[in-house]
Structure 1
């Protein structure tokens, strides 16, 4: 071998390890890249395979679990039925029905009624207050000056017409009786003198006509004065029998009895024992017939056209809960209150239970006269619920106890708490008139469960 060739061979041998190393590195890098790509494809295949397997497994498990679910929902549905809720497996055909337990029906106040036609009159509701019937109210005072010496009644006592309620010691009362007696005696004397003068004149026994006429005038004056004295006694409460008794017995008294002018209850007593009283003083007692009261309603001027004398009314008093009071409109104030723009409407009510007190707040509903509106099928406002944006009522499901179905209806504007039903409900059908809000809530829960 030549020296040049040997040298080249030697240099080639020197570079061989480096080339081998480089080649090995390239091979390792290529293998790494290929491995990553293989793993990516393998992962994607496994993912797709897993997805398909999952779906198949899921369907199988669902199919297997469906029986368990149906069984489970059957038990759960039975429990939920006791609580008034829908089971998830009831089916789409029952989504518009709700079943409640008897306890829930009682708790939520569900009430059934029969659909009937009735006249819908636009009633007027207005704030009101209770007042005494001023036609049956008496302010009792003393027509004579004097001192209260005896009180016969207490606050709240019942009295009858003519009962003595208090006694006043009054010298003027005694003087009035004496004055009357003397005036009547003067009449008797004047009449006797006149009759005697007439007899003498007729017999021409020395009496002039002028003297007879004078005695006649004196008689007429005496009679007038006696009549005035009697009128004064009558103003003090004397009747014909008492006046006759006074003339017969001649006995007078300074103790003046004050009597009740009507039957009722003593609702105020201002008099005090020993108090000086007289015509100029305020009333000593107030007696009212509390069996009949007034309810004064403030009706807006825009609704006065719907109120007439004789209209029936219903009055609710929050402080006296229970059955409302029925009454009749008796007076409509012809003038408006300038500040409130309302007119006072007087409603007369009977309070046989004695629960109403003057100045109690009330709410009066005044109904238009009968026959003012045509009869239509109508239900209470609370019977109609808006379900999924449309009005509906609830009717009992035949053959299923305590189960109620939603019934879509077409309705008109509410009038006086009643809603006219134009279609969807027939006259004579039973429907839920109260407590429908719980049925709407049950349908909402059932719908949410069905979608889930």
Structure 2
């Protein structure tokens, strides 16, 4: 055999040896690679479905050493983490993780929205409870009962005695008609005295005594505060002249200044609660009886008139009060305000599903007050929402590609 033939034989044997070694090594490596995933599943006791990158959840890999399109190392997705075929999609959190995250849930319930509007106001007289005391006939004042503006008087309290000559003449005519013994004429004469302003008690006294009484005592028809007093001894009066004006204090008005941006939340009949520095620890309840039609240009506020009961006359005009305007009685679906996630483009809540799973749901929120938010659409009564830690769950749902429940699925 020539030298060239020997060299060719040696090269052929070497190549065969390398091929065998490479084949055997590949076979050995192949048998070593397959058990890696099996070992991972076996050691953890959980079946691996695929590997993925949480940053790109749509990409699935069958190799634990794969790198995602983001260049990140993949992690396993276990079978017990995947929802059942008929289950609603959601993020699964084991009990230990829930406890560490401090997750807290609340149930969406039907109720009335508490108040979130606190304003200031001042006490004023109830201008609907005013009595004007007048002279029903011309005459003059013979006596004044020591009254002055600002005095608090009771109903029926005397104000002044008046001498009314016209009344004395009419009473004389009545007595003359009565002596005729004709009932129909007597009744007509009695009615004339009533129309002149005489009380039934005064007419009965004249009829009983048979003597005229042109002096009458004018008294206050209501209890309250004397606002004006024009009765002075010796003053001559014309018919219809005002002697005094009395304002009742059984109820008072609380005029509250409400920012115009809150005008949409106001309504007649709305409940209100007032607290005053003069009576610490006490609350006074009332209701809105009027919303004045003009806005104060300087303060950009509306005046809301609240009627309060004034037992014992303790509430005095001019007193300063803090007013909490109550929520209306309209029923609404409410959740804690802290459970609402506002992204700018949409509003979400994180639903707490069965089996420790969570899913975002799009909602349409309404009014807020007292730590509660009204849900107008996207949620049903009885559904549970996450009230603490929902932002972490929403981030996890976004990373794993779980879509929020659409708004149209709950009317």
The two structures have a TM-score, normalised by structure 2, of 0.47
Greater C-alpha radius of gyration: 1
**Going by fraction, where is strand more abundant, 1 or 2?**
2
**Going by fraction, where is helix more abundant, 1 or 2?**
1
The two structures have a TM-score, normalised by structure 1, of 0.43
